[in-house]
Amino acid sequence: MRRVVITGAGTLNPLGADVAATWQAMQAGRCAIGALTCRDVDRLTVKIGAEVAGFDPSAHFTRAQLPLLDRFTQFALISAREAVAQSGLVLSDEDSLRAGVVLGTAGGGNLTVDDNYRTVYEDGKNRVHPFVVPRLMHNAAASHVSMEFGLKGPGFTTSTACASANHAMGQALMMIRAGMADVMLTGGSEAMLGFGGIKAWEGLRVMSRDTCRPFSRDRSGMVQGEGGAIFVFEERARALARGATILSEVAGFGLSSDASDIVMPDRDGPVRAMRMALADAGLAPDAIGYVNAHGTGTAANDRTEAQALAEVMGDHLSKCPVSSTKSMHGHLIGGTSAVELLACLMALQEGVIAPTVNFNEADPDCPLDVVPNEARAATPEAVMSNAFAFGGLNAVMVLRRAA
């Protein structure tokens, strides 16, 4: 089986405008959750979120490009540029035929939809901009990334709610292993922090009104964020041949469906996904030195995940740090597991475990070492990243230190 490595990473998220700034924020335990600035925020019950503050699209795109790009696509393109630059990736015409892109998103052009519903319903206009459909399509980010970098191999989007990015990265891994491509740009992005998006999530009654405190006994719910992260996945022999710096090996992927409930998680599905990812990586549970948890900050999710981890990890769980970086950058929905993979890379590259911030009190139903409030030095050889979505769609990634 062909081995797959990461040779580039890029991001734009509430914690930072690039990978270095994001790692610095994670190591400092900075929380990016604050007051929302979207239109009609006074009509919202939930008035907090993790925004990409101070973002100026015109600094990154021309006036001709911007009408085609929803915010989620902008995040993906900026992240991809950083990832490609770090990887030093240069594709010949022949190479481009074996280079592709698969990205995850749950809402796609949600802000474009929201803005244009206002145009026709609130403002009473009879026409909208001709580029509305190309902006709002879920595949828009993947298509624009393919065009910017000349990627003519496999290209598509996965949309599996909160597991979208992990599913996308798992697909990229399998395509390179199977010989369908040699290079894949992969990850995810999301931009749903508008009035319509927040108002819809309010209806689920799972949103916090103060902050995100995963695994803490006094947690009050999840907090939405926005942004994205993109990685260059590359066949290992190819990367070595061109002298690329290898950030880590993509060692394993597991996926499962609960087939149970549209919103309530079930322990069995996450257990099977984690065990599949470990088996795919050829690793025993005690080889994992860090888990980036799904950790949304809702009672049902936190307790179900803690139970699933206990079943999979056994006695090793007491020795394995398990943190939720959603406490810092919020829940980026379809893009969140891509940003969370940055925390996994940080553990392998920097020797630092990201903390679970805002943590006040241990929950006896979640007996985990959550790395409370302060980052921790460690040198894990392998790490695991969990994503468990509405509809019971689970996806787990395992990374291993580059050999």
30 secondary structure, DSSP code? -
**What's the rounded Cα separation, in Å, for the pair 310 and 293?**
13
* 199 three-state secondary structure: helix
Q: Which residues pair with 46 in a beta bridge?
A: none
Please give the average per-residue pLDDT across 61-65, as a whole number.
97
Please give the average per-residue pLDDT across 134-138, as a whole number.
98
pLDDT at 17 > cutoff 90:
yes
Q: Are 296 and 214 in contact (CB under 8 A)?
A: yes
Please give the average per-residue pLDDT across 68-89, as a whole number.
98
pLDDT at 1 > cutoff 90:
no
| pTM to 2 decimal places | 0.98
Q: Are 146 and 183 in contact (CB under 8 A)?
A: no
Say how many C-beta atoms besides its own lie within 10 A of residue 123's C-beta.
9
By annotation, the residues acting in catalysis are: 162, 294, 331
Give the percent of the chain with pLDDT over 90: 100
* 112 three-state secondary structure: helix
Please give the average per-residue pLDDT across 371-387, as a whole number.
98
CB neighbour burial string for 239-249, b if at least 16 within 10 angstroms, e if fewer: beeeebebbbb
Q: Are 182 and 66 in contact (CB under 8 A)?
A: no
- Residue ranges of domains in the chain, CATH in brackets: 4-241 (3.40.47.10), 253-400 (3.40.47.10)
Model pLDDT for residues 321-373, shown as the tens digit of each residue: 999 999 999 999 999 999 999 999 999 999 999 999 999 999 999 999 999 99
What token pair was written down for 372?
């409370």
Say how many C-beta atoms besides its own lie within 10 A of residue 62's C-beta.
7
Q: What is the mean pLDDT of the chain?
A: 98
Give the percent of the chain with pLDDT over 70: 100
Say how many C-beta atoms besides its own lie within 10 A of residue 395's C-beta.
32
Please give the average per-residue pLDDT across 58-70, as a whole number.
97
Model pLDDT for residues 105-115, shown as the tens digit of each residue: 999 999 999 99
| Confidence tier at 119 by pLDDT (50, 70, 90) | very high
* 260 three-state secondary structure: coil
* 80 three-state secondary structure: helix
Write the DSSP string, 286-320: GG--EEE----S-HHHHHHHHHHHHHHHGGGGGGS
